[in-house]
Amino acid sequence: MLILRVVARRHLPCATSACQHTRLLSTAQAREEKEILRDFTLNLPTPQPKKPKRPPFAKNLFLGKFDYEWLTYPEPQHVDRYNEFQEWLEPIERYMKTVNPKEFEETETIPSHVLQKLRELGVLGARIPGDYRGMNLLNSEYMRVLETVGTVPALGLFLLKQGVPPIDIFIKWGTVEQKLKYLPKIATGQSIATVAVTESNSGPSACDFETLATLTDCGEYWYLDGEKTFVSNASISDVFIVIGHAMQSGELEKRPETLSAFIVDRDTPGFTVLKDSIKTVGLKGFETGKIVMRAVKIPKSNIIGEIGDGAEQLLEMFRNSRHFIATQTIALLKNFQRKLTKDILPRKHFDKMLFETESAKIVFANISCSIYAIESVLYLTTAAMDIYDGQDVQLETALVEQFCVQECLKRIQESIWLVGPKACTLVEPFEQILRDAFTVSNYETSLLDTKIYSALLGLQHYGFDMADHIKKNRNPFTFPSYVFQQIFSQQGALKLHIEDYLHPSFRECAEFCDRSLFRLKDSAENLLIRSGTEVGKEHGALQRLSDIASLIYVYVAVIGRASRSYCIGHRDSFNEVKISMIMAYRLQQEVYRLSDDIKNSEYSNGDYLCRELADLHFEKKDYFAAHPLQRNY
């Protein structure tokens, strides 16, 4: 009856949820699940039903197609859920104002009393389904939690690594028994989970992992051997999801088909977490460590999913968690802006106050624009995930990551010049913010790889749809009439009529989207016609194309949010219109520059010369030019 009552409170059909689920379990297991549900209180109302999946938005931008639905800036929460979520969040916001970041910096650990308070506030189980004592927050809601906790960067990254990769793997691939055993403990903070992936000698290829899981002759146990490094939260985690190759029946070859994930409890014999954590430049308090496994014996049932699912699990983990880092950059930039304001206000610059100078005003305006843009594109992406069922946001999440990382570093770097020599001292907070921003921006995957990945995703989508068009343009002597027709039909902008879906104040901003989308489509076409299947080798052009897509996607989020704010009468909404206008001009100039570089050949934009200079450097293994004071006479 309790299961039925909980289902009824969620307005879910019992026949398709709890009843079917219970029939899958033995009597003892069902009884255990009921015990879990008995202590569970549904804190938030049921989310609104998801809408049918829409076509991929960012990928279609490469084709010049635009989904006007995204301009409405979707709201993922209905009113009741929004109000109750805000009530739940308020104690967390109040508590975070009392947390002392210096305690993390001095001890280089997360204080135990902070972890205990997060347990009490229910933060550690925020993304876990309610059936396992979690809050079952929406993606947008969890971003808000990460942003709040991220006022202490080390704590924000701890929560991200604890609450995203392991939870996603458990929910999607875990068996009912595995979920019942681990998720309730993780939700209540009794256990902390992490994922162990990286190895010292494996590089980026998962096929090179040396961690092996060997099935015993009786077929009941796995023996794990190997080492993992750069394991997040290693020193405080109790549950480790280890990625390695599963070997059975005397198989010796390591292939993607053997890559698998295994659950290892910390107290398993042969499993060791090394005491010395890996020191990082910033994020003091967030611990990264190494684990060693020597003949670690675990039950056969501790494999998550099937043998060979590890490759897909890794892909899902890296593909679906890219955008989470944006919450860290938002918190960092807001904190930096507050401290910079406090430092600037009392200072004089020659005959006037420093905050009255144009240099200071431009710096602060740029920071505000960047925060607004990152917020807009992040919450647009997560809202799409929450509202549309199975929405393809693979490209969107990558574009969010690359934009927020670049903007965070760029704004802090140019703003620190206002501080002057004080920024170099250890007694000021700016040195710590610089270290934290650098570490956050580089902790995940390489930004260069992210850009190339984003561009290739867009080009792949373009190629599927326009394969015949590319083929004919790459063979002008075979299809001369088609090529001439294309030459004389070229336009300078797309007529998408975006302004019809925005407030009239955004007419000029909509024209920027038309012109920029044409540049993106034209750049993608030029690259594929010029390089064909070899386009993956043009890293410089791919990075430029990715930046164009990122800037356009961000700007769509900005004008959609600003138009919504202006229409519903948000406080200071007119200033949001100003941000849209500032960004329209600046982003358009950047899009034009990048697209011109792509359109020009490598001999015109300097890429060819860059490669020659790099080859010379690697040949000499040092700087090659003569000193300016050196003589040869």
pLDDT of 408 reads 93
Measure Cα distances from 110 to 102, 106, 144, 159, 231 in Å. Answer: 11, 10, 21, 11, 16
Instruction: Give this prediction's pTM.
Output: 0.88
Q: Is residue 158 part of a domain?
A: yes
Which secondary-structure segment (H or E) carries 213? Answer: strand 212-215
pLDDT of 52 reads 94
Helices 27-38 + 2-9 axis angle, to 10:
50
Q: Which residue has the tokens 């490094």?
A: 229
**How close are the terminal C-alpha atoms of the chain, in Å?**
97
Q: Are residues 63 and 144 in the same domain?
A: yes
- Tokens matching residue 519: 């540049």
Last residue in a domain, options 188, 220, 235: 188
pLDDT of 633 reads 81
Task: Compute the distance between CA of residue 427 and CA of residue 413 in angstroms, rounded to an integer.
Answer: 19
Q: Are residues 474 and 612 in the same domain?
A: yes
* 411 in Cβ contact with 373 (< 8 Å): no
Q: Are residues 429 and 465 in the same domain?
A: no
User: What's the domain count of the chain?
Assistant: 4
pLDDT of 247 reads 83
pLDDT of 425 reads 81
Q: Which residue has the tokens 């501790």?
A: 302
pLDDT of 202 reads 66
Q: Where are the beta strands (DSSP E) in 381-521?
A: none
Task: Compute the distance between CA of residue 99 and CA of residue 624 in angstroms, rounded to an integer.
Answer: 51
Q: Are residues 498 and 407 in the same domain?
A: no
Q: Is residue 22 part of a domain?
A: no
Buried-state track 541-551, b at ≥16 Cβ within 10 A, e below 16: bbbbbbbbbbb
HSE-CB at 309 with a 13 A cutoff on CA atoms is 14
Q: Is residue 400 part of a domain?
A: yes
Other C-beta atoms within 10 Å of 354: how many?
Answer: 17
- 3-state SS, one letter per residue, for 386-399: HHECCCCCHHHHHH
Structural domain harbouring 551: 449-616
Least Cα distance to 373 among 418, 398, 395, 406 occurs for: 406
Q: Are residues 290 and 396 in the same domain?
A: no
Task: Compute the distance between CA of residue 27 and CA of residue 14 in angstroms, rounded to an integer.
Answer: 18
- Angle among Cα 282, 286, 287 to the nearest 5 degrees reads 110
Where residue 248 sits, what CATH number does that domain have?
Answer: 2.40.110.10
If DSSP codes are grouped into helix, strand and coil, which group holds residue 443?
A: helix
Least Cα distance to 456 among 371, 546, 375 occurs for: 546
Last residue in a domain, options 143, 165, 188: 188
Where residue 173 sits, what CATH number does that domain have?
Answer: 1.10.540.10
If DSSP codes are grouped into helix, strand and coil, which group holds residue 73?
A: coil
- Tokens matching residue 374: 């990152």
* 134 in Cβ contact with 183 (< 8 Å): yes
* 47 in Cβ contact with 142 (< 8 Å): no
Q: Are residues 150 and 181 in the same domain?
A: yes
Where residue 485 sits, what CATH number does that domain have?
Answer: 1.20.140.10
Q: Are residues 473 and 557 in the same domain?
A: yes
Which residues neighbour 67 within 8 Å (Cβ) at sequence distance 6 or greater?
54, 55, 57, 60
Q: Is residue 421 part of a domain?
A: yes
Last residue in a domain, options 393, 420, 447: 447
pLDDT of 632 reads 82
For 427, counting Cβ atoms within 10 Å of its Cβ (0-12 exposed, 13-18 middle, 19+ buried), the class is exposed
Q: Are residues 404 and 329 in the same domain?
A: yes
Q: Are residues 454 and 443 in the same domain?
A: no
- Tokens matching residue 76: 């993922």
Least Cα distance to 302 among 256, 259, 241, 219 occurs for: 241
Task: Compute the distance between CA of residue 229 and CA of residue 274 in angstroms, rounded to an integer.
Answer: 10
Q: Which residue has the tokens 């305690």?
A: 103
Q: Is residue 11 part of a domain?
A: no
| Measured torsion, CA atoms of residues 620, 622, 624, 629, in degrees rounded to the nearest 10 | -140
pLDDT of 99 reads 92
Other C-beta atoms within 10 Å of 225: how many?
Answer: 16
Q: Are residues 177 and 252 in the same domain?
A: no
Q: Is residue 273 part of a domain?
A: yes
Dump the DSSP string for 539-604.
HHHHHHHHHHHHHHHHHHHHHHHHHHHHHHT-TTHHHHHHHHHHHHHHHHHHHHHHHHHHHS-HHH
- Angle among Cα 484, 489, 493 to the nearest 5 degrees reads 145
If DSSP codes are grouped into helix, strand and coil, which group holds residue 237?
A: coil
Residues 467-511: tens digit of each pLDDT = 888 888 888 888 888 877 777 666 666 788 888 888 888 888 888
Q: Is residue 481 part of a domain?
A: yes
Mean pLDDT per 10-residue segment, the chain (633 residues): 37 38 44 45 78 94 92 89 93 93 87 91 90 91 94 92 91 92 92 90 69 86 91 91 83 70 93 85 87 92 90 84 89 93 89 90 94 95 93 93 93 89 80 88 84 93 90 84 75 79 87 89 91 89 94 94 90 90 89 91 82 91 90 83
Task: Compute the distance between CA of residue 91 and CA of residue 98 in angstroms, rounded to an integer.
Answer: 11
Q: Is residue 366 part of a domain?
A: yes
pLDDT of 290 reads 92
Q: Are residues 592 and 509 in the same domain?
A: yes
Q: Are residues 416 and 384 in the same domain?
A: yes
Residues 82-111: tens digit of each pLDDT = 999 999 999 999 999 999 988 888 888 899
